[in-house]
Structure 1
Amino acid sequence: MSTADHPARSRPPAQSRDDSRDAADFDTLVAEAEAAPTEGWDFSWFEGRATEARPSWGYARAMGERLGRAGASLDIQTGGGEVLGSAPVLPPLAAATEGWPPNVAKATALLRPRGVVVVASAEDAPLPFADGAFDLVTSRHPVTPHFEEIARVLRPGGTYFAQHVGPASVFELVEFFLGEQPAHIRGARDPEGERAAAEAAGLDVVDLRAERLRIEFLDIGAVVHFLRKVVWMVPGFTVDAYRPRLRELHRRILDEGAFVAHSTRHLFDARRS
């Protein structure tokens, strides 16, 4: 999404709609979104098409400050390395893991010149590092935080500092396409559940903060690109499979000026006992 929270560019409600014009706009916007690359976690494509409020704690800045004080760090599920690469100073020893091959290549190209070793490792695989190898482990939006492995690779007194996606994030959009989700799906990623899992793995949770943040999709292209990029939101999403529903949402955005959803995020700061 946008790097700042901008107000939606509202459009007046349609008094009389030119259906042929709407169809042409729909096809153009969807074609643009389908042609856009989805590698990495660079969201600059959404500029002017969607907005997302940012958590008050400023994760990238706070992570950068901690990296500047660390001796050895690991960034888990680094994506294309964009967040790690934004840090002004990196530790003398820095590594990152990523599981999706296009992102591995992108992260390597970005981070290798700064001395970061990027290791291809599936998100559900054991971390390919020795016990106690790092004094700082970071991650922004891991699919699943494997606390046992995080605790294992941290030295005693080491820190896990991360921003996680919370429960029912952007579910206004998910449920528009998939219908109402069951309670166990809506409640997944609960921060208190993750606190309990971290503590069971031997981590002491020092700080845990959660926020719910406004998102505005300003055109249907932004929706298509988002669902192509964040593939677990609507599993198996393709334009062809959801074209009638996308057309309906396109008309709604034209009428209302934006489709509003809410993301959930929590800041996780824990130390190994």
Structure 2
Amino acid sequence: MDRTDPRSPEARRSFEELVAEGAAVPTEGWDFSWFEGRAGEQRPSWGYARSAAGRLARATAALDIQTGGGEVLDFALGAAAPARPALIAATEGRPPNVARATALLRPRGAVVVSASDDAPLPFADGAFDLVLSRHPVRPHWDEIARVLGPGGTYFAQHVGPASVFELVEYFLGPQPERSRRARHPDRERADAERAGLRIVDLRAERLRMEFHDIAAVVHFLRKVVWLVPGFTVEAYEPRLRALHERIEAEGPFVAHSTRHLFDARRPDR
């Protein structure tokens, strides 16, 4: 369905209306199509989902860690068809996402396993020749290395350091340096190598984001819950109202995401 551009004068609505809309949108899964026309983000140059599809077309047993609602894996499997692994599994820790991912991925022949993000992976040693993950909360390198067979590959897109911190610091104030450097690719490289993986490729990019109305900000913070922990409209109403007025007067709120691509391999021996 076409959506009226929320930036046009005829589409302008009150702060209360926009906040109510952003607070009502379901947050399950990683489908970001609702943001079309009201928020946007540059995409990394490497095209993770399509690159993952190429890997899936050559794999025999694949695992997608923290699959969310299964949307990225579903796209990659569709793009890889008719070639696809004989065994396809995915893990997810949030119950609403597990149900969503199961409904989406079962027709693709994938099994979705409910597993906490911090728990050991519920699979045998060396069970997979390909492990995927898009935006894991935290990569558990020992477990990734354990479930990969000799010569197996970990191919993933991670969130990088200080991602969307313009928005984080708008609500929470200046963050300590240790928070700004969390998820740094150099540190993750060292952790992966300590787990026995060899880094084949590691690339990082900083990407522009724009929020065109306060509804998009509210929905984004409800969906990406670790950015402003405990976020609610009521708790942050004054800051939300001030940001709404700023967007109305000056245009979109600009932030920057950081992403890095991991291509790691478990040695043959």
| TM-score, normalization by structure 2 | 0.93
> 1:3 aligns to what?
none
> 1:4 aligns to what?
none
Give deviations 1:186-219, integer Å, cap 9, x for gaps.
1000000000000000000000000000000000
Structure 2: distance between partners of 1:269 and 1:127:
20
SS at match of 1:86: helix
> 1:18 aligns to what?
none
> 2:229 aligns to what?
235
Structure 1: distance between partners of 2:46 and 2:14:
38
Answer whether contact 1:137 1:159 (CA < 8 A) is retained. yes
The Cα shift of 1:242 comes to 0.1
> 2:148 aligns to what?
154
The Cα shift of 1:113 comes to 1.1
> 1:59 aligns to what?
48
1:179 to 173, 185, 192: 173
Answer whether contact 1:131 1:154 (CA < 8 A) is retained. yes
Structure 1: distance between partners of 2:207 and 2:8:
22
Structure 1: any 5+ residue segments left out of the alignment? 1-7, 13-21
2:205 to 199, 206, 211: 211
> 1:46 aligns to what?
35
SS at match of 1:216: strand
The Cα shift of 1:40 comes to 0.1
The Cα shift of 1:257 comes to 1.1
SS at match of 1:157: strand
1:78 and 2:72 aligned: no
Answer whether contact 1:10 1:256 (CA < 8 A) is retained. no
Answer whether contact 1:78 1:139 (CA < 8 A) is retained. yes
1:30 to 12, 15, 19: 19
Structure 2: distance between partners of 1:55 and 1:252:
28
Letter in structure 2 aligned against 1:219: D
1:1-273 map, 5 Å? 25-87=14-76, 88=79, 89=81, 90-273=84-267
Aligned length in residues: 256
The Cα shift of 1:94 comes to 0.3
Letter in structure 1 aligned against 2:24: A
% identity of equivalent residues: 75
SS at match of 1:241: coil
Structure 1: distance between partners of 2:6 and 2:204:
28
Give deviations 1:61-111, integer Å, cap 9, x for gaps.
000010011000000000000000002233111000000000000000000
The Cα shift of 1:45 comes to 0.6
List structure 1 segments (4+ residues) > 3 angstroms apart after TM superposition. 8-12
Structure 2: distance between partners of 1:105 and 1:9:
32
Structure 1: distance between partners of 2:225 and 2:242:
21
| TM-score, normalization by structure 1 | 0.92
Structure 2: distance between partners of 1:196 and 1:9:
45
The Cα shift of 1:10 comes to 6.7
Structure 2: distance between partners of 1:262 and 1:194:
20
Letter in structure 1 aligned against 2:251: G
Structure 2: distance between partners of 1:187 and 1:10:
35
Change (3 A) 1:11 1:257: farther
Letter in structure 1 aligned against 2:168: V
The Cα shift of 1:240 comes to 0.1
RMSD (Å), alpha carbons: 1.4
